[in-house]
Amino acid sequence: MRHFTASRFGSYEHTRREFLARTCMLSAIAWLPETTSAQDVRTRLILLGTGGGPRPRKTSSAPAQVIISQGVAYVIDCGDGVARQLAMADVPLTSLRHIFLTHQHSDHNADYGNLILLAWTSGLHTRVDTWGPPPLQRMTRLFFEMNKYDIDVRIANEGRIPLSPLVHAHERRTGGEVMRDDYMRVTSTVVDHPPVVPAFAYRFDAPDRSIVISGDTAPSATLVKLASGADVLVHSVMYPGAIDRLVARVPNAPALKASILAHQTSAEQAGRVAQAAGVKALVLSHFVPPDDPDLTDQMWTDAARIHFRGTVIVGRDLLEI
Ligand SMILES: [Zn+2]
């Protein structure tokens, strides 16, 4: 077992204790022994938003996930409302350490800057690394510029430490290893989501489990390779038979149907990808359409099971897996 190196995370212990304390409260455990090992805490995956597309909805939030390992939060995608969804999931915003954007579509990045700002207003005072396609660095810089007034007021008035020095944006144009720390290795591959280039899928390998997030993609051989043997694959899905009803509800986008069909994966195809990759569980998410009352969980599951023999889970906002 690898061991945590304190020097690599200045306030890690503090964050971990806060996280463990919260976990204890939630599970009504009154006391946590000092000897409890960090390694005893299972790596958690929580779906924060499972609806595809940027249009705000009553039924589901925009795409985002969080993986929590050793009290450290790794957030994947930042759709509208991601900070609120973390609060709803009882994940302390101060545990935010890494943000990964799969691609630069607004349902995946609309609250990228807001998540950082709102975490800082919630007490975050430690480093955050962000990873994703260009123009991530420019987006980060311009976000701080746009919010300079509020940030400066809070520094002067509330005694907060400056925000921008905490945030390090890393642009990625190709797949491969993204980062690693003492408990997590993150790798990526370029997937097929035209015309958005590059679009990434990410794989998170923790000591106890491996989790892959597809991002948005058409059926992708590179994703099959990245997800090979993983415990969990979270895959974006569409239901082709319902796309006509979806586009009829969205004015001002005459090419929307062709776009969706060209750059998304049907639930049936997602099952084929999961089977080819040999994953244990396939989690359906980023539903397109996201709010069609005629589509039942059983219909999504049945489609995914045509080709996949493992466990199929129909994603829901705030579902922990
Ligand atoms: Zn997209």
Lowest-pLDDT range, 6-10, 36-40, 104-108, 188-192? 6-10
Q: What order of strands is seen across the sheet that includes strand 185-191? A: 176-180, 185-191, 199-205, 210-213, 232-238, 281-288, 311-314
Q: How confident is the model at residue 40 (pLDDT cuts 50, 70, 90)?
A: low
Percent of residues, the chain, with pLDDT higher than 90: 78
Confidence at residue 250, expressed as pLDDT on a 0 to 100 scale: 76
**What spacing in Å lies between the alpha carbon of 155 and ligand 1's midpoint?**
36
Residue 99 confidence (pLDDT) above 70? yes
Please check whether residue 112 is in contact with residue 98, taking contact to mean a CB–CB distance below 8 angstroms.
no
- The per-residue pLDDT for range 143-167, each reduced to its tens digit, is 999 999 999 999 999 999 999 999 9
d(CA 222, CA 198): 13
Percent of residues, the chain, with pLDDT higher than 70: 88
**What spacing in Å lies between the alpha carbon of 101 and ligand 1's midpoint?**
11
**What spacing in Å lies between the alpha carbon of 107 and ligand 1's midpoint?**
7
Confidence at residue 226, expressed as pLDDT on a 0 to 100 scale: 98
Q: What order of strands is seen across the sheet that includes strand 64-69? A: 44-49, 64-69, 72-76, 96-100, 128-132, 167-171
Supply the DSSP symbol for 51.
Answer: B
Confidence at residue 20, expressed as pLDDT on a 0 to 100 scale: 43
**What spacing in Å lies between the alpha carbon of 225 and ligand 1's midpoint?**
21
Confidence at residue 14, expressed as pLDDT on a 0 to 100 scale: 44
Residue 27 confidence (pLDDT) above 70? no
Cα Dmax for the chain: 61
**What spacing in Å lies between the alpha carbon of 195 and ligand 1's midpoint?**
9
CA distance between the termini of the chain: 23
**What spacing in Å lies between the alpha carbon of 54 and ligand 1's midpoint?**
9
**What spacing in Å lies between the alpha carbon of 260 and ligand 1's midpoint?**
9
Chain-wide mean pLDDT for the chain? 88
CB-proximal residues (5 Å) to ion ligand 1: 105, 216
**What spacing in Å lies between the alpha carbon of 170 and ligand 1's midpoint?**
20
270/27: higher pLDDT: 270
Residue 24 confidence (pLDDT) above 70? no
**What spacing in Å lies between the alpha carbon of 82 and ligand 1's midpoint?**
16
Supply the DSSP symbol for 239.
Answer: -
Lowest-pLDDT range, 29-33, 62-66, 311-315? 29-33
**What spacing in Å lies between the alpha carbon of 238 and ligand 1's midpoint?**
12
